[in-house]
Structure formats: structure tokens, C-alpha cells
């Protein structure tokens, strides 16, 4: 029984936040591929392929190759390229004929190519083309020049050569490679549309060629560089779907890059996850992990990026490790994990001090130190980056930070010095104006406010008349909104310090707007509240913030904070919402709005996939505390809110893959909220988390309890089905089958996502498998028979046919096996392999069919079925056995050469990884290979292999007799009859009374016959008939005995022997009887003519 299925090169482009992107993966030429056909197809008379050979001139006559040139060719064929090159050069120095000189020049160029002396090879091919531009191999030489130009980085020359090559419309062995290489070259030269044309031409001419997927990849690259994002993504997706190991992972990676560059971060993450799942050992794994981490960070999912980045930062080499460390540290800094970020950065700098990213790493470490309050050390690190030689792209930012920290440290003179050196050192930096703001603050602090005013007025866009700031800053970079606002406040302060209070007041008035009164602030709260209640949350945020700014501890400040947090959560600004919530908890810990607001934000976090945040908030609600560090005097919380918090926490923990922690919260919710509308779904979730926690029996009981408590709920069918599956998977298939049967007996369920669909094919199939696990084969067959009857076209019908055929096979009903399997195999005969469930069962069905056909001696049918299995499922675990069946069929059908080739390939093929051969198959392949070698009369090879295999077997192995028989046949074929006879005698002794012994005795007769020892031969032949019940070999022995009588001129005995062979009913259909009948009449005539 064969039921094996289980049940059911980068470059960095930095923004100011330090984001990095990998460059495109190059399409590299393979040096080993250069001229590969040149060696493999080298003819006896020349260097080129057979159709180009200089030793094969057109016409009836062949040109005589001089010995010296033939020597050079021979050395080339022996891969002695150094010696071949020397001989070609010597030959060219002898003044040969033009034709021989052309052949030698081509050979010399080719030899240099295979020596790896590419520059010399290119010169030699150019010399060949200069002297023989019309030579038949001139086109090949143009191709070689294109290849060599590509390899040597001379893309212009490569393009010219390859375009010359493809300009000829005639076919050529290298045409596909040339078009593809031409696409690569044009891409490298930035001629994107021409590159795309070349790749498309290659693909159009050779849609199934070995470089077709490389061309598809090139098309994607060209489309990407042309900015055609959707087309590029589609091209890479189609290439990835082809599952070509050489290109699929590259396609996924490039697709993700294109999506990332277009700001489609979620799509990029999905593509990279597909790459990780489909090619876990890809050479692009580290690059892909890094890019996925960057995209996750872009999506605000920094914690998910950490497990991808940490191994890269710790274990990878350059450039990935420092780059991963920088990305991870930047993410940690954004999450206020400054200490972890600094330690990571320091380790990276120590490990990679000469990395191009060292300045960036040191810069970020300075940021981390500043966040930790270690200002002096941070200033030293920024100064180090600012003084980097040569200046790095981070140097200007570092000097700006150093100046700002000097202001914070009240080292104002140093701040002024650094700021004033900035424009000289970084004249083109976009940070110039921000540094000037820093300088102005230092000037104000040192009593030089008038100088600060002269700097700030132009920066904030004030005209001489004091009009409102314009959105047109001075040269030196646009100020960020926050910096611009701070600069205006700095200017207000500078005006006051410089004794210009009227200018300060005027600027403040313009900034604050008219009517800034307590009454107006209260109105802002009421407007915000009204907008929030109407669901216009985005509009409510502004008025609520305005109120809180004006009245941070007003009478309704806690309500305003609660409304603000809820509005921010409703508009997706969850980080802002949590900050407002934290402010509410800190300032108003006894507010009645705290728990409802916390619940609303927790549920919004959960909906947004921020499950860890949600879980923390749900726990706080359940604790009744204002904060984690709050007093142990929790306030009273509405039971309805507590129930929702328990359910929310349970689901958040489950989504965080912590089912064991989630289970008690589901149970607590059900205890207090069993009649809630959400209770059936919660009960289903409880059973699921119990199962995920390994508490299988508890889960089974929970599913049973759901069915009892909520029998009419839409969750009931799912609970029954889940219970059945758990019972089967936990070793209780009989009980599981009973539940499946009950589900089927209940009839059709309501439609919907929780319905089972009545007697569906899936249910019947799962019932059948459960019954098989319960060793109830007859009942299982009944379920599968019902499945076939009710759902004949379902994909699960294949499972039914497979199992029914296995049962018929076990019952010894081979023709019933074929009857069951025929519809399944006929539907797809000659077509493409189906997908989905069929991919799991059709290979096994084909294998069983081939085995059964072999069992019935339908070797032609077995051959066709095995060939189909190998064609449609070449990597299936049964494919190797199917190949064996195909080879055996060829041997049985008399196609010995085909059989030998296939057995040889099987013997040389290693076992597929994760798919070990069945016991004995490997040895059987070797034994049958010996038989096939006998079939093609390769006696010496057969003898050697048989003797080698015999040495490996123990003395008691029954296969020794078969090997001795094969040895005897090989020895007989080699003209060693005495040795052959000894081998056959060993078979007779080992297998007394068997058909194999009868065959060996027959062959012993053959050994005597070949020595003209006819009497001894006759005795052996007659022994076969007398001693064995083996009709096949008896018939052959009687025929051979008759032939011996003929050689002895005993015509009457010959006729009598032939007559017996013809009349014996056991030999009626034996081919030997037909021959005997023909010889009988001749023997009688010869006997009658004797006196």
C-alpha cells in the first residue's frame, strides 16, 4: 500500500531619516558558459561546432588538414588550451594556406578564450574577422566578441558586436544568448527601451529556451527603470510564478524593490514574505530580510522587523551587517530604546571601522547618547563625523547637531564657532538655515540679540514692514515647520532682548490670531465635542487641542482629553491617541472617562494589528488602575467594559501567538457573558486556543460544550467539524469518524463562512481518511464510493479513486484497480499537470496504475503511464520509481538500448533530498542495469557491474543467483564458455528446481553448443525438459535439442523433438513452437530422403 499522504553591489541613498535602499540585482554573465558548446561539440577536424568545422568544406571533396593544424585541433579537444594556443601560433608562422590560416586563427582565439585570457582572445577574434570577414564562422566570431566585451566591461564594444551578430536573420546556436546578452548590455548602458526590445525579441524567438526566464527578468528590470511600476511588478510576478529556482527568488526580490520604491510598502512586505517562504535558502535571503525589515518599519511595524535585522547585524558581513545595524538602531531610536540602539551601533563600529557606513553609525550613536542625556559624549561623536575625511554625507548633519548640543550644554561660544564654520565647510548643504537658527539662539543667550534679529528675520520670511511670514525661505534650505515655528518664537524673544517690544507683540498677535479669550477657548471644546458626536472626528481634533492648549486644567479638560484621544484613534492616529490617553491617565487618574477611552483605543489598536499595545491597554482596564505604576486602589469599572476588555485581551494574546495565556480570559468572559451575542464566537475561539496550546482533550470538550450550549448558532457546524478533526489527529479516529458521520447525517447546513455544506466532498473525504486511520477499510471504501457517486467532478474524487484503487490492489484485483483509476488518468492525459489537490494524488494514482499494468504484463501501458508521471511530476518522490518502471518496460519490450540508457541514468542519479528510495530499489536498479547491458551485448560492462555488485552482497542473498546468471551470459558473450558454464552451475546449485535454474541449465547447453560439443549440449537441453516444470524454458530447450539433432544429422530424432514441442498444449502460445513447426517439415523431409 502506498498511502503516504497525511490526513486532511548595493548603493545607499539616504534621506534625512537614514533610509537605505539596495541597488538592483545585476544580470551577470556566466564565465563558465562562454563558449560551452565550443568544447562540447568540437569535431575531429576543427575548433568550431560541427556545422562550422574547417575540416568540413562544402562539396563532395574534403580539404586535407595539415598535420600541424590537426595537432593543434587535437590538443584543443583534449582541453590542453595552452599547448593548443602554442601550436596554432607556430602553425600560423609557417605561412599556411588562407583556409588553414583562417581555421588556425579561429582556433587560437578560442583557445585564448578557454585559457581565460579574455583580452588576448578578443584581439585574436578581431584579427580573425579582419582577415576573414566573409568566413562561415565570422558570425560566431562576432558573437564571441560580444561575449568578451560583456565580460571585460566594454559595453559599447559588446553592443556593437552583438548587434552585428543579430543583424543576420539566419538561425544560429547562439542566437538566444546573443539577444539576451544584448538586452543586458543595453540595460547596462542605460538604453532602457532598446534593452526591453532585445529581451522581448529573445523571448519571442525562444519562449521556452534556457535563457527565457533571464529575458523575462531583464524585461522586468527595464520596465522598472523606465518607471512603469505596474508593468514591472506584473513581469516579475509572472516570472516568480514560473518557479524557476535560478530566477524566481530574484523576481520576488526585484518585485519588492519596485513596490517599495513606489511607496507600496505592504505589497513589498508580501512579496518578500513569499520569497522567504518559497526560497528559504535563497542567496538573496539576507538582502531580502533587510529590505523586508525596512518596509515593515515604513509601515510602523518596527518590532516585527527586529527579528529580521538582529541576525544580519550580528552575523552577516559587509555591507549587510553595518547596514542592518543602522536600520535597526534607527528603528530602536524611534521607539525610544536609546540604550539598546547605542550598544548595537558601538558594536557595529568596532566590528566594521572602515565601512562606508561608519560615519552614519557613529552619527546615530551620537543621537542615542543625546537621548540618554550623555551630551558631552554625543557632542564628541558628532564632531568626529563632522571632521570625517573626506567629508561624508552625514558630516553636515553631524556639525549641525554638534552646534545644537553645544547650545543645550550652554557652551554658547562653541555653538557660535561651529555654526559660523558651517557655511565654509558645507556651502551647498540644505541644513544651512537650520544651523543659522541654532547660531541665533546662542547669540541671544550671550546678549547679542541684535545680531540674532538680523539672522532670523530673513529666515522666517518677514519683510521689512513686518508682514506675515511667507512660504519662500532664503537660500540654504527650507526650514521644517517645527523649526520655523521655533524660529518665530526665537525672533519674538530676540526683539524683546533687543528692546523692540512693539515688534515682539505684533508678531505674537499675528501668530496667535484674533480673539484669544477664555470664552473662545471654551467654545472650542463645545465645537470639538459636537463634531466628535457627529462622527466628524478629523474636524474635531483641532478645536479640542485648541481648548486644551488654552485650558490644560480646565473644568472639562479630562473630557476634552478623552474626546481628543477617541477622535485621534478614529482617524488612525493611534500613536497620538495613546499619548493623549497617557496624558489623561497622568493628569486625571480618577476620571470616569479613562476606562471607556482606554477600551476604545485598545480596540482600535487591535483592529490595526497593534496587538501588543492593545493587550497592555486591556490589562490596565482589567486592573482598574490609572497606569501600570498606579496605586493599588483600582476604581470601579462598568462590568460591560470589563467583559469587552477580557474578550479583547484574549483575542490580542491569541494573535500574539500566546494561546495558553489567552485561554483563561476567554473562559472568564464566557462565565460572565454567556448570553452575549459574541459568546458563541468566543466559545469557538476558546476551543481553538486550547487546541493551539496543546490541550487537545480540553479543546475537544470545549467544542462539545459549544454544540450543547449554542446548538443553533452559526458556530456550531464549525465546532463539530473542528472536534472531528481534533479527534482524528489526536489518535481517536474512530470517535472522529462518528462525529463526521453525525455531521453528514444532520443534512445541509445554512450557507455562510461557518457552514459545513452538508454531505460535501470534503466531509466525505475526511470521513474516509478517518476510517482508514481507524482501520475500518470497508467503511472507508463506502465513504469514498459515496463521494464518487455524489461528487464525481470534485477534486476530492481523486482521493476517493486513489483509496479505492489501493483497496482493490490489496485485494488482488488488478483489473479493478485499472477500472477505478482510468477516469482519473484519462481526464488529463497529454495535458498539463493539474494543480491543487490533484497535484497530491494524481502522481500516486499514475504510479499505482503503472505498477498494476506491469503486474498484468501490459508493459507498453506501464511505460506510457510511467513516462507521463515523470513528465508531469518530475520532482515527485515516486518519480524515480516510475522511471524504473519505464526502464523495465523498455527492457521487457525489447528496447534494450533505451532501457540501458535509463537504468544508467537512474544509477547515476542521487536520491532526491527528502525522498529516499524504497528499500532495495537502488540495488534493483543496478541489477536491471546489468540485464540491459546484456541486452545491448556490452558483455564486458555487464560482467564488471555484476561482479562488483556480487561482492557487495552477503553470501546468503538470493540475488546472487541472478547475478551469477548475468555473469554467465556475459562470459558466454565474451567467448569464455567454460567460465560461463561454471557461473550457470552456481545458479542451478543455489536455486534448485526453480525457473531460474531451468534457464541456467538451458544456458549451460548453450556453452557446449558454442564449443561444438553437441552431445553434452543435447544432454543439458534434455535435462531441462526432464527435470523442471518451467514451460518457457522447456520449450526453448526442446527447440535447441532439435537443432542439435540436426547438427548430428539425426533427422528422425529432430523431427520427433519438434513434433513434441508443437503438440504439447503447454507450449501452444510459445514463440518457440512456431519455429519448431517450421523446422519440423524440413527435418521430416531430410529424414525421409536418407537411405
pLDDT tens digit sequence for 655-686: 999 999 899 999 998 888 888 889 999 999 99
Alpha helical stretches, state H, 858-895 = 859-872, 879-892
Alpha helical stretches, state H, 608-732 = 611-623, 639-655, 659-672, 679-692, 696-709, 715-729
Residue 521 pLDDT more than 50? Answer: yes
Residue 198 pLDDT more than 80? Answer: yes
341/329 Cα distance (integer angstroms) = 5
Using an 8 Å Cβ cutoff, are 302 and 335 in contact?
Answer: yes
377/955 Cα distance (integer angstroms) = 81
- Grid cell digits, residue 849: 496504475
- 977 plus 1063 within the same structural domain: no
| Nearest in space to 190 (alpha carbons), one of 15, 34, 31, 24 | 24
- 985 plus 1001 within the same structural domain: no
Instruction: Please state the φ and ψ torsions of residue 694, each to the nearest 5 degrees.
Output: 85, 5
pTM above threshold 0.85:
no
End-to-end Cα separation, the chain, in angstroms: 67
More confident residue, 483 or 499: 499
476/469 Cα distance (integer angstroms) = 17
Using an 8 Å Cβ cutoff, are 364 and 341 in contact?
Answer: yes
Residue 650 pLDDT more than 80? Answer: yes
> Helix, strand or coil for residue 793?
coil
Domain termination site, one of 626, 652, 678: 652
Residue 531's pLDDT band (cuts 50, 70, 90) = confident
- Classify residue 735: in a domain, yes or no: no
Residue 661: which residues within 8 A CB-CB, separation 6 or more? 653
Residue 9 pLDDT more than 50? Answer: no
Residue 624 pLDDT more than 80? Answer: no
Residue written as cell 519505464? 886
- Classify residue 275: in a domain, yes or no: no
- 484 plus 581 within the same structural domain: no
User: Residue 1037: what pLDDT?
Assistant: 94
pLDDT digits (tens, 9 = 90+) for 264-322: 999 999 998 888 888 888 888 888 889 999 999 999 999 999 998 999 888 888 888 99
pLDDT digits (tens, 9 = 90+) for 465-486: 444 454 444 455 667 766 776 7
More confident residue, 337 or 624: 337
Give me the number of domains the chain comprises. 4
Residue 398: which residues within 8 A CB-CB, separation 6 or more? 359, 363, 366, 382, 383, 384, 385, 386
Residue 364 pLDDT more than 60? Answer: yes
Low-confidence winner among 95-104, 492-501, 625-634, 950-959 (lowest mean pLDDT): 625-634
- 393 plus 503 within the same structural domain: yes
- 523 plus 648 within the same structural domain: yes
Residue 489: which residues within 8 A CB-CB, separation 6 or more? none
User: Residue 5: what pLDDT?
Assistant: 30
1017/1039 Cα distance (integer angstroms) = 12
- 497 plus 544 within the same structural domain: no
- Classify residue 525: in a domain, yes or no: yes
Residue written as cell 534494450? 896
Residue 750 pLDDT more than 90? Answer: no
Using an 8 Å Cβ cutoff, are 654 and 635 in contact?
Answer: no
Name the residue range of residue 1023's domain.
994-1091
425/387 Cα distance (integer angstroms) = 10
User: Residue 857: what pLDDT?
Assistant: 87
Using an 8 Å Cβ cutoff, are 240 and 251 in contact?
Answer: yes
- 558 plus 608 within the same structural domain: yes
User: Residue 831: what pLDDT?
Assistant: 40
Share of the chain above pLDDT 70, in %: 87
- Classify residue 629: in a domain, yes or no: yes
Residue 513 pLDDT more than 70? Answer: no
- 1018 plus 957 within the same structural domain: no
- 965 plus 1001 within the same structural domain: no
- 508 plus 381 within the same structural domain: yes
Residue 979 to residues 299, 618, 953, 975, 1004, Cα–Cα distance (Å): 80, 89, 21, 9, 10
Residue 27 pLDDT more than 70? Answer: no
Domain termination site, one of 601, 635, 652: 652
Residue 722's pLDDT band (cuts 50, 70, 90) = very high
Low-confidence winner among 617-631, 867-881, 973-987 (lowest mean pLDDT): 617-631
- 1021 plus 980 within the same structural domain: no
User: Residue 187: what pLDDT?
Assistant: 92
DSSP 32: G
Using an 8 Å Cβ cutoff, are 597 and 568 in contact?
Answer: no
Residue 3's pLDDT band (cuts 50, 70, 90) = very low
User: Residue 141: what pLDDT?
Assistant: 94
645/639 Cα distance (integer angstroms) = 10
User: Residue 913: what pLDDT?
Assistant: 59
954/873 Cα distance (integer angstroms) = 36
Long-range contacts from 963-968, C-beta under 8 angstroms, 24+ separation? 963/927, 963/930, 964/990, 964/1000, 965/996, 965/999, 965/1000, 965/1003, 966/927, 966/930, 966/931, 966/934, 966/942, 967/943, 968/1000, 968/1003, 968/1007
Across residues 825-830, what is the average pLDDT?
A: 62
Domain termination site, one of 962, 991, 1020: 991
| Nearest in space to 1018 (alpha carbons), one of 1032, 998, 1039, 997 | 1039
- 563 plus 632 within the same structural domain: yes
Amino acid at each position: 500500500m502506498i498511502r503516504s499522504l497525511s490526513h486532511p553591489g548595493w548603493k545607499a541613498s539616504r534621506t534625512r531619516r537614514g533610509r537605505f535602499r539596495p541597488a538592483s540585482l545585476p544580470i551577470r554573465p556566466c564565465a563558465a558558459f562562454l563558449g560551452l558548446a565550443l568544447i562540447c561539440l568540437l569535431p575531429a577536424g576543427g575548433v568550431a561546432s560541427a556545422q562550422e568545422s574547417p575540416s568540413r568544406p562544402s562539396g563532395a571533396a574534403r580539404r586535407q588538414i595539415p598535420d600541424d593544424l590537426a595537432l593543434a585541433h587535437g590538443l584543443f579537444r583534449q582541453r590542453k588550451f595552452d599547448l593548443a594556443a602554442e601550436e596554432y601560433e607556430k602553425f600560423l608562422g609557417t605561412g599556411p594556406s588562407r583556409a588553414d590560416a583562417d581555421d588556425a586563427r579561429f582556433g587560437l582565439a578560442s583557445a585564448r578564450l578557454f585559457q581565460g585570457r579574455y583580452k588576448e582572445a578578443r584581439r585574436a577574434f578581431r584579427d580573425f574577422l579582419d582577415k576573414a570577414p566573409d568566413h562561415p564562422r565570422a558570425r560566431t566570431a562576432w558573437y564571441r566578441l560580444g561575449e568578451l566585451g560583456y565580460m571585460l566591461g566594454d559595453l559599447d564594444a559588446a553592443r556593437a558586436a552583438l548587434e552585428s551578430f543579430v543583424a543576420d536573420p539566419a538561425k544560429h546556436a547562439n542566437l538566444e544568448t546573443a539577444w539576451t546578452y544584448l538586452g543586458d548590455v543595453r540595460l547596462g548602458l542605460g538604453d532602457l527601451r532598446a534593452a526591453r526590445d532585445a529581451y522581448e525579441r529573445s523571448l519571442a524567438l525562444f519562449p521556452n529556451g534556457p535563457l527565457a526566464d533571464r529575458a523575462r527578468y531583464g524585461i522586468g528590470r527595464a520596465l522598472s527603470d523606465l518607471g512603469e511600476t505596474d508593468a514591472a511588478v506584473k513581469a516579475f510576478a509572472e516570472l516568480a510564478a514560473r518557479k524557476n529556482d535560478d530566477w524566481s527568488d530574484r523576481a520576488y526580490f526585484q518585485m519588492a524593490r519596485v513596490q517599495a520604491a513606489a511607496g507600496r510598502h505592504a505589497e513589498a512586505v508580501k512579496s518578500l514574505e513569499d520569497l522567504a517562504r518559497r526560497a528559504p535558502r535563497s542567496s538573496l535571503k539576507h538582502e531580502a530580510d533587510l529590505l523586508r525589515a525596512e518596509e515593515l518599519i515604513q509601515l510602523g511595524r518596527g518590532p516585527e522587523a527586529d527579528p529580521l535585522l538582529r541576525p544580519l547585524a550580528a552575523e552577516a558581513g559587509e555591507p549587510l551587517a553595518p547596514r542592518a545595524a543602522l536600520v535597526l538602531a534607527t528603528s530602536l531610536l524611534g521607539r525610544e530604546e536609546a540604550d539598546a540602539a547605542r550598544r548595537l551601533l558601538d558594536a557595529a563600529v568596532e566590528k566594521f571601522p572602515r565601512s562606508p557606513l561608519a560615519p552614519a553609525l557613529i552619527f546615530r550613536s551620537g543621537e542615542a547618547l543625546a537621548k540618554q542625556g550623555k551630551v558631552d559624549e554625543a557632542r564628541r561623536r558628532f564632531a568626529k563625523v563632522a571632521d570625517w575625511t573626506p567629508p561624508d554625507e552625514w558630516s553636515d548633519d553631524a556639525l549641525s547637531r554638534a552646534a545644537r548640543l553645544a547650545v543645550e550644554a550652554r557652551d554658547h561660544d562653541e555653538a557660535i564657532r561651529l555654526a559660523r564654520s558651517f557655511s565654509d565647510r558645507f556651502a551647498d548643504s540644505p541644513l544651512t538655515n537650520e544651523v543659522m537658527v541654532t547660531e541665533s539662539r546662542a547669540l541671544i543667550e550671550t546678549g547679542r540679540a541684535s545680531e540674532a534679529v538680523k539672522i532670523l528675520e530673513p529666515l522666517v520670511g518677514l519683510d521689512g514692514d513686518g508682514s506675515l511670514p511667507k512660504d519662500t525661505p532664503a537660500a540654504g534650505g527650507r526650514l521644517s515647520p517645527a523649526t520655523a515655528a521655533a524660529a518665530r518664537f526665537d525672533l519674538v524673544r530676540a526683539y524683546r532682548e533687543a528692546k523692540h517690544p512693539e515688534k515682539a507683540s505684533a508678531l505674537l498677535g499675528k501668530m496667535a490670531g484674533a480673539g484669544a479669550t477664555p470664552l473662545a477657548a471654551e467654545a472650542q471644546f463645545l465645537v470639538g465635542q459636537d463634531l466628535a458626536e457627529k462622527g466628524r472626528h478629523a474636524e474635531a481634533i483641532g478645536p479640542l487641542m485648541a481648548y486644551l492648549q488654552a485650558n490644560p486644567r480646565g473644568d472639562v479638560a479630562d473630557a476634552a482629553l478623552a474626546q481628543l484621544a477617541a477622535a485621534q484613534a478614529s482617524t488612525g492616529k493611534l500613536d497620538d491617541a495613546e499619548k493623549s490617553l497617557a496624558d489623561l491617565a497622568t493628569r486625571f487618574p480618577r476620571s470616569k472617562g479613562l476606562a471607556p477611552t482606554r477600551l476604545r483605543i485598545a480596540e482600535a489598536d487591535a483592529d490595526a494589528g497593534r496587538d501588543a499595545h492593545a493587550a497592555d491597554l486591556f490589562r490596565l482596564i482589567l486592573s482598574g488602575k490609572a497606569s501600570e505604576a498606579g496605586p493599588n486602589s483600582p476604581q470601579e469599572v462598568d462590568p460591560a467594559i470589563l467583559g469587552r476588555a477580557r474578550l479583547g485581551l484574549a483575542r490580542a494574546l491569541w494573535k500574539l501567538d500566546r494561546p495558553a495565556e489567552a485561554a483563561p480570559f476567554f473562559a472568564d468572559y464566557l462565565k460572565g457573558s454567556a448570553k452575549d451575542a459574541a459568546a458563541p464566537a468566543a466559545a469557538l475561539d476558546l476551543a481553538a486556543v486550547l487546541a493551539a496550546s496543546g490541550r487537545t482533550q480540553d479543546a475537544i470538550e470545549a467544542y462539545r460544550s459549544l454544540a450543547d450550549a449554542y446548538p443553533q448558532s452559526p458556530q456550531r457546524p464549525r465546532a463539530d467539524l473542528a472536534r472531528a478533526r481534533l479527534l482524528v489527529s489526536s489518535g481517536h479516529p474512530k470517535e472522529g469518524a462518528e462525529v463526521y458521520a453525525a455531521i453528514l447525517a444532520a443534512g445541509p447546513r445554512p450557507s455562510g463562512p461557518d457552514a459545513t455544506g452538508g454531505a460535501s466532498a470534503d466531509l466525505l473525504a475526511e470521513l474516509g481518511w478517518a476510517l482508514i486511520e481507524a482501520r475500518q477499510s470497508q467503511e472507508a471504501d463506502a465513504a469514498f464510493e459515496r463521494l464518487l457517486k455524489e461528487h464525481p467532478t470534485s477534486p476530492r474524487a481523486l482521493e476517493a479513486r486513489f483509496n479505492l484503487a489501493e483497496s482493490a490492489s490489496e485485494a488482488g484485483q488488478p483489473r479493478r484497480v485499472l477500472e477505478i483509476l482510468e477516469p482519473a488518468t484519462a481526464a488529463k492525459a497529454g495535458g498539463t499537470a493539474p494543480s491543487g489537490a490533484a497535484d497530491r494524488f494524481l502522481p500516486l494514482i499514475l504510479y499505482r496504475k503503472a505498477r498494476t499494468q506491469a503486474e498484468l504484463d501490459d508493459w507498453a501501458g506501464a511505460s506510457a503511464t510511467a513516462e507521463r508521471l515523470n513528465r508531469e511530476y518530475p520532482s515527485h518522490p515516486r518519480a524515480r520509481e516510475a522511471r524504473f518502471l519505464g526502464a523495465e518496460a523498455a527492457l521487457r519490450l525489447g528496447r534494450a538500448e533505451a532501457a540501458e540508457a535509463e537504468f544508467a541514468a537512474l544509477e547515476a542519479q542521487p536520491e532526491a533530498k527528502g525522498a529516499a528510495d524504497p528499500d532495495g530499489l537502488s540495488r534493483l536498479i543496478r541489477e536491471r542495469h546489468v540485464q540491459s547491458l546484456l541486452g545491448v551485448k556490452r558483455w564486458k560492462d555487464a560482467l564488471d557491474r555484476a561482479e562488483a555488485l556480487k561482492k557487495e552482497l552477503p553470501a546468503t542473498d538470493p540475488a546472487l543467483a541472478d547475478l551469477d546468471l548475468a555473469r554467465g551470459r556475459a562470459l558466454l558473450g565474451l567467448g569464455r564458455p567454460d567460465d560461463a558454464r561454471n557461473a550457470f552451475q552456481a545458479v542451478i546449485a543455489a536455486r534448485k528446481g526453480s525457473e531460474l535454474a531451468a534457464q541456467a541449465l538451458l544456458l549451460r547447453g548453450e556453452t557446449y553448443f558454442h564449443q561444438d560439443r553437441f552431445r553434452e549440449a543435447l544432454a543439458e537441453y534434455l535435462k531441462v525438459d526432464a527435470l523442471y516444470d518451467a514451460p518457457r524454458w522447456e520449450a526453448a530447450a526442446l527447440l535447441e535439442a532439435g537443432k542439435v539433432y540436426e547438427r548430428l544429422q539425426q533427422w528422425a530424432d529432430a523431427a520427433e523433438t519438434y513434433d513434441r514441442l508443437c503438440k504439447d498444449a503447454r507450449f501452444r502460445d510459445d514463440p518457440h513452437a512456431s519455429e519448431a513447426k517450421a523446422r519440423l517439415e524440413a527435418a521430416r523431409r531430410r529424414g525421409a530422403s536418407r537411405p
